[in-house]
A and B are shown apart, each in its own frame.
Chain A
Amino acid sequence: MLTCKKFLHELSEYLDGTLDPETRAELHKHVSECPNCWVVCDTTERTLKIYKGMEPQPLPPDVESRFMTALMEKCKSKRERSSAEETSAEAS
């Protein structure tokens, strides 16, 4: 007989669907018979769903502007360095 403690211990993997079929069936039986574990399972599942559904906010404009400037400078310096290397390779 599966205990609530054992169910709780396996809850993450139960929700992720990564358990072997036998353990999964055992947990499924428990959750359909134990109201408390059903509530914990349902509310944990909904917790994960809410977090997964959160779209990230756009970058604040000032953060984005500084970021793009830094990135473009980096790209420019890398390009200049590689073309300088090519020139010196051709010269030698």
Chain B
Amino acid sequence: MSTPSVTPAFDETALVAKAKAGDVEAFSELVRHYDRRIFRMAKQITQNDDDAEDVLQESFLKAYTHLDHFQGNSKFYTWVVRIAVNEALMKLLKRRSDRTVPLDEPIDTGEDEMVREIAVWDENPEQTYSREELGTLLDEAIQSLKPAYRTVFILRDIEELSIEETAEALNLSISAVKSRLLRARLQLREKLTRQFKHKGDDAFAYL
């Protein structure tokens, strides 16, 4: 009787320890586990495929070079994300003619424009789109945000870093992260509502 094949659980701590001891295969496994997410994040921040590829390579090469300095106080993934965010922001900076740090953009604090579209959504709006169409739609919505909002949203709500980790990665205060996150979330809600709102007669049935 054959033993059913079981995929071994991903044990980040053990893999990091092996990689630190020089096990290249262990480091490769860490890379393969996270490379898609790092590439997606880099693309969302830089909005450029070539830059995203550079960020992907440079982040993991740096992580490998400095692996001895990784103390294990945070997750390996959070550590790589921080490296990648810095690389991605540097790319953005290089492409900007005025050389200002995109995160230092003045933040619009006017609250009047925060909510314009108030309409219920279809039951399962995402099912009316193919996976690819939905991906494009969500990416376009993110890309329409200013970098200051975009980066906070990506780290907090897509990569699921904590508020504190996001603040540390972006060198922002906790309150700055919170206020940018709120605006990013509301702006995306606004954009998605335009796509997903229920168009039937009972759109305002809750009233």
Contacts and interface: CB of A to CB of B under 8 A. Distances in A.
Interface of A: 5, 8-9, 11-13, 18, 35-36, 38-40, 42-44, 46-48, 50-52, 54, 56-59, 63-64, 66-67, 70-71, 74-75, 78-79, 82
A70 B160 contact: no
Contacts, number: 104
Contacts of A79: 22, 24
Nearest to B64: A74
B206 A43 contact: no
Contacts of A48: 157, 185
Interface of B: 22, 24, 27-28, 31, 35-37, 39-40, 53, 56-57, 60-61, 64-65, 111, 114-115, 118-121, 126, 134-135, 138, 157-158, 160, 163, 178, 181-182, 185-186, 188-189, 192-193, 196, 206-207
Nearest to B19: A75
Given A43-B196, A51-B157, A70-B57, 20 more contacts: A9-B182, A11-B182, A12-B185, A42-B120, A43-B189, A43-B192, A46-B192, A47-B185, A47-B189, A48-B185, A50-B138, A51-B188, A54-B158, A56-B37, A59-B39, A66-B57, A67-B35, A67-B56, A71-B31, A78-B65
